[in-house]
Amino acid sequence: MDIEIINASRIFLRECKFAVFAQNLKTKIRIVLKGDYFMDMYYNKTLGKYAYTLVKENRRIIGWDNAPHHKGLDNFPHHFHTADNQTIPSKLIGNPEVDVYIVIEAVNKFFVSSQRTKRRQQRKTSSTWHR
């Protein structure tokens, strides 16, 4: 495993508010997050390939990669798969020790947004009158 992804995973563990622990799965690093989520981090320096995927219940929630299958996007081949299944250009550049900060920011925002949504739903449920 390339040292760059190991260093990036250490940064992720330190900086992501929702990270719990990391597992080395030989070809990728899996970071277990709160709420039954995990972040898979893959990087192969020799091939120049990377992927960062936030997963829950075996389903991609959001993710970044540089697989060359979205040629019409700005910043090709770097792209981002949004939570609503859109594929848009990514700000990642293929350097894990730099890119990880963009990933952390997005994951932290995702969790904060999810927590707000849950609180709103709980308030609506608890304020509903039942006869």
Kindly tell me if the per-residue pLDDT of 115 is higher than 90.
no
CA distance 87 to 81: 5
Question: How many H-runs (helices) and E-runs (strands) does the chain carry?
Answer: 2, 7
Q: What percent of the chain has pLDDT over 70?
A: 88
Tell me the average pLDDT across 68-93: 94
**DSSP helix/strand/coil, 33:** strand
pLDDT score, position 114: 79
Tell me the average pLDDT across 98-119: 87
CB 18 within 8 A of CB 37: yes
CA-closest candidate to residue 100, choices 60, 25, 43, 45: 43
What is the pTM assigned to this prediction?
Answer: 0.87
Kindly tell me if the per-residue pLDDT of 10 is higher than 80.
yes
Pick 130 or 55 by higher pLDDT: 55
pLDDT score, position 55: 98
Tell me the average pLDDT across 85-96: 96
Show Cβ contacts of residue 76 under 8 Å, excluding neighbours closer than 6 positions.
68, 70, 89
Tell me the average pLDDT across 12-40: 96
CA-closest candidate to residue 61, choices 16, 17, 114: 114
Provide the mean pLDDT of the chain.
91
Q: With bands split at pLDDT 50, 70 and 90, how would you rate the model's confidence at 131? A: very low
